[in-house]
Chain A
């Protein structure tokens, strides 16, 4: 067994927190966190709760309400030929099997939806194309949305959920990966500026099931996603990859929870973010629980943040709870650093203009992560989005919105 802890804590003006702080008494164990389908059990947060202490609760207020409609977004699914899509009522037995809501927005989302979209990859089917779910904001009314992505046993598929436009959305994404199935689920938050989005991803993995969960957040006013993954059979494997880029006054929060409830499962979490502009705020919380019976667990989580300008703040909190000594490996690492001026000098001393040098460094920061995604169309889009984000910071540096050289 090996347990490693690598708290490299390069800090940009103290904009880094680690584990508990802020005078909050955290729940003793992640396992003790209250979960429930019942609204009454999970009240509207004040912002002082452990799971809300970094969040702008005032801006999220509309999603705490019991009265969420369905009219704010339009959902369009373009399935791969082998994949089935249904609209079902909330009483469908397949819904609600991935665990109970764990916070206020998750419980309001669960109670508000009337119909859910169910995407099924039939047993043994290998999807020949990406299945695309497009969630487009069309009105600002607070809206609940429920999706279920179900990969039946020994199936293989890639599902991309795309969020765009402007919306006030409270979303649940249930992910079921049955025995031996391999699912790649990509969620892209590419919202317009004003969007407010909370999303609870709850994944359940069967025996020898594999889930690659890819999360990308660029747009929106407030985006708060809480992906949970629970293993229910041995040999399960989850890889969570996240990439985010926050601009001035944007709040992007990603709280992950991996529950090693059974023996011999593996989890890898890699999240990287860049921040630029005053008031840009990112939060990454990675909870991993290795339960007493989960012998042979292998887990590692990593979060890195690159602060490009003054006035941005990155919070990064890895939490690893280990209830058994019989594990294969467990570790985490978290680091937040400023843009490295020595890298900039080195590149500029080779004739590369500042704008291009910065672009190279930021691209480099994300490069490995993007390669891990393994879905070409998503990778290409990501690179383009990073370029677009960089254009914004470049215009701050140069005072003009145009590129300097390589025209």
Chain B
């Protein structure tokens, strides 16, 4: 069993006007097999948490700690974090022209696993995972994310989550921009990964609808860079009915 522990995390983002504080003391503990939903209004800092955990250079951790089974994540480079078992499904996956999906997947898998995957089984594994996510096999030869639709990009992110088998996956608004069919396909992929690998999931979302497909064990409401309220799945249902108004009033009061 693994534990990802976030303690009193403060993060600033680089802007033209200088560093702007976004996260103001986040505390969160995620264990293997658990699914934590982070919900909150736009601009509350949800995606900043995701990017900071992955080590995006635009975000500066000004205080606090993040540890993975006691190891200091903040001391690790971006690639070291991924090899340590963190995975970020990005909100806006980046196009990499001229690098085929097949080459990319194999290169990343090799880096994460520390050795090249066995040729025969790997090919089968990729093919099957693509089938499950209804990704056309022709995508293997296309450039990473280039010309992909929004839904195709998100499915490609979840494909990686399934193939790389991380210890913890952070899904940054994976549901945004998906129609119902795509949302279901993507959610099934996440649930398969959970069933197969006991991955801990940090599910960042603005809406509650993805929680009908991926059941959270814990729900945290993010407001103004910190967790304002925590609870079980029932908190999500309450948010569905009430929206975030209650928190916004509290934050400005």
A interface with B by C-beta (< 8 Å): 340-343, 345-354, 356-357, 360-361, 363-368, 405-406
- State in angstroms the CA–CA spacing of A369 and B108 once bound together: 24
Query: Counting CB contacts under 8 A, is B237 at the interface?
Result: no
Residue pair B111, A405 in contact (C-beta under 8 Å)? yes
- Chain-A contact segment, one of B14-22, B76-84, B244-252: B76-84
Query: Counting CB contacts under 8 A, is B191 at the interface?
Result: no
Residue pair A352, B107 in contact (C-beta under 8 Å)? yes
Closest to B51 in A: A345
Closest to A361 in B: B96
B80 to chain A, nearest CB (A): 8
Residue pair B98, A351 in contact (C-beta under 8 Å)? no
Q: Please pick, from A343, A351, A406, the residue contacting B79 in the complex, using a CB distance under 8 A.
A: A351
Closest to A369 in B: B98
Query: Counting CB contacts under 8 A, is B143 at the interface?
Result: yes
> Which residues of chain A are near B79, meaning CB under 8 Å?
348-354, 357
B146 to chain A, nearest CB (A): 10
Assess A364 versus B56: contact at CB under 8 Å? Given A350-B112, A351-B111. Answer: no
- Interface residues contributed by chain B, number (CB under 8 Å): 30
Closest to A363 in B: B98
Greatest chain A CB density within 10 A among B77, B81, B98, B143 is at B98
Q: Which 9 A-B pairs have the closest CB atoms?
A: A364-B98, A367-B98, A351-B82, A350-B108, A351-B111, A346-B94, A351-B112, A348-B78, A364-B99
A353-B111, A354-B79, A356-B107 given; name 4 further pairs at CB < 8 Å. A346-B144, A348-B82, A351-B79, A361-B99
- State in angstroms the CA–CA spacing of A345 and B93 once bound together: 10
Greatest chain B CB density within 10 A among A340, A348, A357 is at A348
Greatest chain A CB density within 10 A among B57, B104, B107 is at B107
- State in angstroms the CA–CA spacing of A270 and B86 once bound together: 40
B90 to chain A, nearest CB (A): 7
Closest to A368 in B: B98
Residue pair A364, B143 in contact (C-beta under 8 Å)? yes
Closest to B82 in A: A351
> Which residues of chain B are near A351, meaning CB under 8 Å?
79, 82-83, 108, 111-112, 164
- State in angstroms the CA–CA spacing of A311 and B98 once bound together: 26
Closest to A366 in B: B98
Residue pair B77, A364 in contact (C-beta under 8 Å)? no
Query: Counting CB contacts under 8 A, is B88 at the interface?
Result: yes
Residue pair B112, A364 in contact (C-beta under 8 Å)? no
- State in angstroms the CA–CA spacing of A346 and B144 once bound together: 10
Assess A343 versus B111: contact at CB under 8 Å? Given A349-B88, A350-B82, A354-B79. Answer: no
